[in-house]
């Protein structure tokens, strides 16, 4: 189809306008090739990171499936999930995104020699911070457990406290690993960091399989061993960078580079921790529901988070060093184009992923978890949570990319304020929806808040007068993605009806194969529809894969 729609013609978007986001008159053949080459490089890097993220999610879901099979949706699993949630509250300020926010733009700004000295001092500061966090966690664990799970009493409360103290020991290894990963990201080394979570999941899984007689304690010991393993993986590529990262005595007057890092990191850490409070709030409300509700929310959340982490997280990781360089060098047009393209790529995955999760929640949960102690009732409860979490895939995917734009511009306050407002909104929605529609109100509140988060970031960007972002062509792009998603969803619903529905009573292998085929067909229909609708990002995706294949074949 060689023509464009009436709407596109009315706004006078030529082919070059739509594909590259730049005025036609400013683009020669050389600049067009350079622009497309840049995005194809981003895609290739994203695919590499996505592979690691996908393996991480697959091993994570497989790990959760084994845990569900061995321990079911029980009070013991509720105790484990709560202990892990509390560790997440401690560890979320130590996430890769938080460290990236401070380290990536700073390493872009300063020379290697100056950075090496500053990073050594920062290493020392990090060790001190981790020691303080360990002390706080150790002495206040019982109080914190009761705070986030007010419905816990007796054995469940004691078990959750014991599990938390074990995994608290992994905190130093988590912090040091994330620090090294951020340094690698700044230098655009992505492979070792991408596979860190694979190591954690595999080691935890082996612990559950080998030491399952210890009950849920086998999960905690496995996670501790996995944290150590993932740290060791980052050391070889770090050594190849020839940076001096050994800790040195802290000075009373911090290095200017450290000041820059901390000025960016602290608000970002607060924003990340504030975001984690949404999960804590959800589980606090869920602790008032029947046993197994927290576990079902946790498994549903893990399914929802899979496409976000695999693609949106990988895309933002690859984009961030490039955005920081373009902003630092004053390349406003390139900066604007990179963000615009990043948003498009995130939506290209988020919408079909949300459709698949919403429409095929029961088959997906059944294939992944229904075995052993995880019965049909647990499947239906988890599928309900999964279906109502679907909207969060769209909001969180867009927000994950949008927030990196603020950080690349060294604006860390706006995301913090927006994140804080979402916690209040989430608590209000949890309270109201729990009373109105019960259990499913909690994941629905999360979906509403994720979309509100993305829209708030979007609105803040539009109000920025110094950037030309989010062109009208983005809305035409969204309409095409929605059309392709709808066509894919309708096709699959009709296909399932013709087959007589999903075979819940079949063997584990058949159910897994069935779901895999469903997802593959839905993806193929979506990609075919996208090509028919001339969505340029899909063409670029195939081009990047084709070029990468040619290079490996030559």
Nearest residue to 133 via CA among 97, 169, 83: 169
Q: At what angle do helices 376-408 and 293-307 cross, to 10 degrees?
A: 50
**Torsion from C-alpha of 282, 283, 284, 285, nearest 10 degrees:** 60
Cα separation, 130 vs 271, whole angstroms: 19
Cα separation, 450 vs 179, whole angstroms: 27
Domains of the chain, residue spans: 6-553
Per-position pLDDT tens, the chain of length 554? 333 332 332 223 333 333 333 344 444 445 444 555 556 667 777 887 888 888 887 888 788 888 888 887 778 888 888 888 888 878 877 878 788 888 888 777 766 666 677 777 778 888 888 999 899 888 888 888 888 788 787 888 888 888 999 999 999 999 999 999 988 888 878 888 889 989 999 999 999 999 888 888 999 999 999 999 999 999 898 888 877 676 666 565 566 777 778 888 888 877 777 767 888 888 889 888 888 888 899 889 988 988 888 888 888 888 888 788 777 777 777 777 777 778 888 888 899 999 999 988 988 888 888 877 788 888 899 999 999 999 999 999 999 888 888 888 888 888 889 988 988 999 999 999 999 999 999 999 999 999 999 999 888 877 764 555 555 677 788 888 999 999 888 888 887 777 776 776 777 778 888 888 888 888 888 888 888 888 877 777 766 565 444 444 44
Enter the pTM of the model: 0.73
Cα separation, 231 vs 226, whole angstroms: 9
Cα separation, 87 vs 68, whole angstroms: 20
């Amino acid at each position: 189809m060689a023509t464009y729609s009436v709407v596109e013609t009315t706004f006078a978007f030529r082919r070059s306008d739509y594909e590259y986001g730049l005025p036609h008159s400013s683009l020669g053949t050389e600049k067009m090739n350079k622009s497309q080459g840049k995005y194809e490089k981003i895609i290739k890097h994203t695919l590499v990171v996505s592979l690691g993220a996908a393996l991480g999610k697959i091993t994570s879901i497989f790990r959760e499936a084994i845990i569900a099979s061995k321990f079911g949706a029980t009070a013991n699993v509720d105790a484990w999930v709560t202990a892990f949630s509390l560790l997440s509250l401690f560890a979320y300020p130590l996430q890769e995104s938080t460290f990236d926010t401070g380290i990536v733009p700073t390493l872009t700004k300063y020379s290697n020699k100056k950075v090496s000295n500053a990073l050594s001092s920062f290493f020392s500061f990090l060790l001190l911070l981790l020691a303080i966090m360990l002390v706080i966690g150790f002495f206040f664990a019982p109080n914190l457990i009761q705070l986030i799970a007010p419905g816990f009493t007796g054995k469940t409360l004691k078990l959750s406290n014991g599990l938390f103290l074990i995994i608290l020991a992994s905190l130093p290894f988590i912090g040091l690993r994330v620090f090294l990963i951020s340094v690698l990201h700044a230098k655009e080394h992505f492979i070792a960091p991408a596979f860190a979570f694979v190591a954690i999941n595999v080691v935890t899984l082996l612990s559950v399989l080998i030491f399952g007689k210890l009950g849920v304690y086998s999960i905690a010991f496995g996670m501790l061993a996995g944290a150590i393993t993932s740290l060791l993986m980052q050391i070889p590529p770090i050594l190849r960078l020839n940076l001096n990262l050994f800790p040195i005595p802290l000075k009373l007057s911090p290095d200017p580079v450290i000041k820059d890092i901390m000025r960016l990191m602290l608000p970002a850490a607060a924003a990340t921790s504030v975001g984690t409070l949404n999960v804590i709030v959800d589980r606090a409300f869920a602790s008032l529901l029947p046993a197994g509700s927290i576990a079902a929310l946790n498994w549903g959340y893990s399914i929802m988070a899979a496409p976000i982490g695999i693609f949106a997280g990988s895309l933002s990781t690859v984009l961030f060093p490039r955005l920081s360089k373009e902003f630092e060098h004053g390349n406003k047009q390139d900066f604007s184009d990179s963000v615009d393209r990043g948003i498009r790529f995130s939506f290209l995955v988020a919408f079909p992923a949300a459709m698949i999760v919403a429409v095929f929640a029961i088959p997906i949960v059944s294939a992944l978890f229904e075995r052993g102690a995880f019965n049909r009732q647990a499947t239906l409860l988890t599928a309900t949570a999964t279906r109502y979490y679907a909207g969060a895939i769209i909001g969180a995917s867009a927000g994950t990319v949008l927030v990196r734009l603020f950080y690349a511009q060294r604006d860390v306050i706006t995301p913090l304020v927006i994140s804080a407002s979402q916690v209040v909104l989430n608590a209000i929605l949890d309270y109201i929806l729990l009373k109105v529609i019960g259990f499913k109100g909690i994941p629905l509140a999360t979906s509403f808040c994720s979309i509100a988060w993305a829209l708030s970031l979007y609105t803040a960007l539009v109000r920025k007068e110094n950037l030309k972002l989010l062109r009208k062509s983005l809305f035409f792009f969204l309409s095409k993605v929605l059309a392709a998603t709808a066509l894919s969803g309708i096709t699959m619903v009709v296909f399932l009806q013709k087959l007589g529905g999903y075979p819940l009573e079949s063997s584990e292998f058949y159910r897994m194969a069935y779901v895999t085929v469903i997802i593959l067909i839905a993806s193929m229909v979506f990609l075919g529809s996208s090509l028919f609708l001339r969505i340029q990002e899909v063409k670029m995706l195939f081009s990047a894969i084709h070029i990468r294949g040619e290079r490996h074949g030559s």
